[in-house]
Amino acid sequence: MLISPATIAEGESEEWYVEGGNSVLMEQFTATWCDVCAKIDPWISDFVDERGSRLIRVALHDPINDPLGNSITSERLSNFPDGQNLAPSFWFDSSGEIKGIVQPVDLDRALLNSEGNRDSDTTISISVSKTDNNSLELTINFYLTENISNTQASIFLLADKNIDKSLATNGITTHEDVTRGYVNLEILENHTINQELLESNFNSGFSNVSLIRTSSGYTVNLNFDLVNEETEEISIVAVHESLIDGERTTLGAVSLPLGQASNDDRVSILTPLLCIMILSTVILFKDRFL
């Protein structure tokens, strides 16, 4: 039996859905003033796309001297000593740090290592709908049976951004997977069923944030008001993370690109296998009756 790592669906009424959890989270510290980053940016997006649901990229821009930077970068890199001292830097599932200029083989090696270190994957679903007032309504379900203590739900909103040439010190004007929204909420075992919690550890960009304990895990509800973002340029990333003694570990991650056409990975995998089976049957019977 073949099981898709992630199922994506898009409706005609601007609604999107994904379910998965086994993706590796790659966080990249980058900057518009970084010449080395300019050597990586032309191929990094294709690298991520070619690895499908195995890899999620989150671009964290310098919060001080970069027009695309914000406090989200400081929050995410606060767990890494000297995390913002060198761009580009890469972290895979909050470990496997690589600094400086890299080649695809370096990132592939780190990806494989992270996949091998993941004990199990938290199943996560993301539902998104666009409202009439140009806002996104998000519902993220974390289906948890274990690994609850000392964990958090982390939600990113990523967008593709263009900057003016006068601001592009390194010559790159188009940047993908830029963090525009981020929230993380603490998960506790002593939450009771249907208990709603409204306080987050950190929030930038989201509104109406709530965490609810359910019989199957936890549900996060939140909104994001679209200002300069187009839905086809946005991705939603949901991550289940543990945080023990300042060490962060990924327990599950999934991404929902709102600009991606309606797709089901199970169909894409089963279709060629079905064609092979049909062709084999035709050849078998042809040989038998000739």
Ordered per-residue pLDDT tens for the chain, 290 residues: 233 455 555 544 589 999 999 999 999 999 999 999 999 998 999 999 999 999 999 999 999 999 999 999 999 998 887 666 789 999 999 987 899 999 999 999 999 999 999 988 999 999 999 998 999 999 999 998 776 888 999 999 999 999 999 999 999 999 999 999 999 999 987 888 999 988 999 999 999 999 999 999 999 999 999 988 889 999 999 999 998 887 889 999 999 999 875 444 433 333 333 333 444 443 444 444 44
Residue 141 lies in a domain: yes
Model confidence, pTM: 0.85
Cα 50 from chain centre: 15
Cβ neighbour number for residue 101 with a 10 Å cutoff: 12
Residue 191 lies in a domain: yes
Total domains in the fold of the chain: 1
Residue 176 lies in a domain: yes
Residue 286 lies in a domain: no
Domain that holds residue 84: 8-260
Residue 290 lies in a domain: no
pLDDT at 6: 57
pLDDT at 10: 53
Residue 278 lies in a domain: no
Provide the Cα torsion 166, 47, 204, 118; round to 10°: -160
CA distance 25 to 8: 18
Pair 136, 128: CB distance under 8 Å: yes
Distances (CA, A) of 164 to 32, 60, 82: 11, 19, 29
pLDDT at 79: 82
Residue 3 lies in a domain: no
Residue 110 lies in a domain: yes
- 218 strand-pairing partners: 142, 213
pLDDT at 83: 66
pLDDT at 147: 67
Which CATH number belongs to the domain containing residue 86 in this structure?
Answer: 3.40.30.10
pLDDT at 7: 55
CA distance 34 to 172: 10
